[in-house]
Amino acid sequence: MIYADNAATTAMSEAAISRMTELIRDTYGNPSSLYSFGQKAKEVLEQAREDVAAVIGAEPREILFTSGGSEADNQAIISAARIGEKSGKKHIVSSAFEHHAVLHTLNKLAKEGFEITLLDVHEDGIIRPEEVDKSIRNDTCLVTIMYANNEIGTIQDIKAIGAVCKARGVLFHTDAVQAVGHLKIDVKEENIDLLSASAHKFHGPKGVGFLYARKGIRLTNLIEGGAQEKGKRAGTENVPGIAAMAAALKEAYAAIDVNTAHLVPIRDRIIAGLGEIPHSALNGDAASRLPGNINYCFEGIEGESLLLLLDDKGIAASSGSACTSGSLDPSHVLLAIGRVHDVAHGSLRLSIGEDITEEDADYIISSVKEVVEYLRGFSPVWRDLVAGKGSFIL
Amino acid sequence: MALYSEKVMDHFRHPRNVGVIEDADGVGEVGNAKCGDIMKMYLKIEDGIVVDVKFETFGCGSAIASSSMATELIKGKPVEEARKLTNKAVAEALDGLPDYKMHCSVLAQEAIEAALEDYESKK
Ligand SMILES: Cc1ncc(COP(=O)(O)O)c(C=O)c1O
């Protein structure tokens, strides 16, 4: 199988697996217990905090461990809203193509009376920092913009957006779930106040993540109970998962340059290869893009049938078609960059991993070409387009 | 657990009666590209019998499988019988569809109804 769905989740690295299994077996003490066996687990936990902090240029006490990216997004946004509320600031700036962990949290706040501005992400999937600046008002309490998009892979100019927020005195959160472990991030240099990350996107375990919150930012609990995580997140810590995350992150961070140098040419080879398919279009900017992301729309076909046939050929990928989401609408990300429903249904996301080879890339290209041509062969939409009834969109 | 039954996957991977009938006696098209599913059915009818049927589909795996199964269920049958084809019969013949995909079998029924209507109107 060629696993090309690393944006959905990644395989755990050997380092993470061995760290996790070793700790499950040998270091099962509760970090809150005072005897030395418990304190050993506490040491592991605090070492993980140091390791994670170092990777993003934060201080250990600025790292809060969570159950993943969704929880970190929820807590960051709710916390900023509660801070803003106290001084009557109930306006939040975000973008139309955020992950649902962000958008649904914003919807919840909107029901409480917050006003939400969703910025245009333009056809290239890039938010303009000057538009962030223009959207900030006197009552804005938070700007939340994702570092890299999970579907189309576009990377934002986070440093410039962070500078705008700093200049305007507004908290800045970034959902960096797709970026951490893949891009070099420095929270201080990029003026990031709050950042969310998730272990399973960088070869760590599922159900573990972290929230970076610049010191001085008062977090609001989502989970009440014990005094773990400085009282900001109750529940006995997932020590093996957290330590495995740290192990995976250290390894991913150390390999960023090597991985990027390997992935970018292969990504671009696939982008060029699929570009030969007539009436297709790359989604998202070609340059400011995650090293492993390829996302295309093919006119006249539907994405789920494309995925099933690619699965038969041993390729695991994903699509933004409505049929793969269980809803009637295709991906909100594709709609946000201006793809109309008709073509958004025919989308394909390939998110390649470090183990990909050039041969894999060529096999992917030829397989996608073959399947698209086959499906177009009995698509009434394609027949009409070719016959000149209606005009091509792509 | 697999997303679809073996039957669905079989009809999806090897759809029966794919294509067009140039001199069809009835043609029906339902659905729209906005929703992500379009089915087009072509019927050849002689002496009140559906002697040939072909389909074209833009849609997901279950849409393709439903069209394929629907054509099999009416091919060689009297028009009267074809008219009585229900979406339930299509879904059952496929050993079931996930709930949120039942609309694909509805679309197959409607495509055949539309093609038969077209045939009647031309008579
Ligand atoms: C951009 C983005 N944010 C948040 C999440 C949620 O992360 P998790 O699955 O760890 O809750 C994901 C992954 O699904 C993601 O891609």
- Cα distance between residue A278 and residue A393, in whole Å: 12
Residue B36 — very low, low, confident or very high, per pLDDT cuts 50/70/90?
A: confident
Average pLDDT of span B21-33: 95
* Nearest-CA distance B59 → chain A (Å): 5
Q: A68 C-alpha to center of ligand 1: Å?
A: 7
ipTM: 0.96
Q: Render A67-111 in DSSP notation, one character per residue.
A: SSHHHHHHHHHHHHHHHHHHTT--EEEEETT--HHHHHHHHHHHH
In single-letter form, the type of residue at position B51 comes to V
Catalytic, B35? Answer: yes
Please report the pLDDT score of residue B34 as a whole number: 78
Please report residues of B whose CB lies closer than 8 A to that of A328: 35-36
A167–B contact, CB cutoff 8 A: no
pLDDT per residue as tens digits for the range A24-66: 999 999 999 999 999 999 999 999 999 999 999 999 999 999 9
* Nearest-CA distance A322 → chain B (Å): 7
| Contact between A62 and A214 (Cβ < 8 Å) | yes
* Cα dihedral A190→A194→A200→A206 (10° resolution): 170
Distance of CA A102 to the CA centre of its chain: 11
Nearest to A298 by CA among A276, A322, A266: A276
- Cα distance between residue A111 and residue B113, in whole Å: 45
- A303-312 and A358-376 helices cross at what angle (nearest 10)? 130
Provide the annotated active-site residues of A: 323
Q: Which residues of chain A have a pLDDT value below 50?
A: none
**Nearest Cα residue to atom 9 of ligand 1:** A69
- Cα distance between residue A371 and residue A346, in whole Å: 12
Please report the pLDDT score of residue B3 as a whole number: 87
Please report the pLDDT score of residue A324 as a whole number: 67
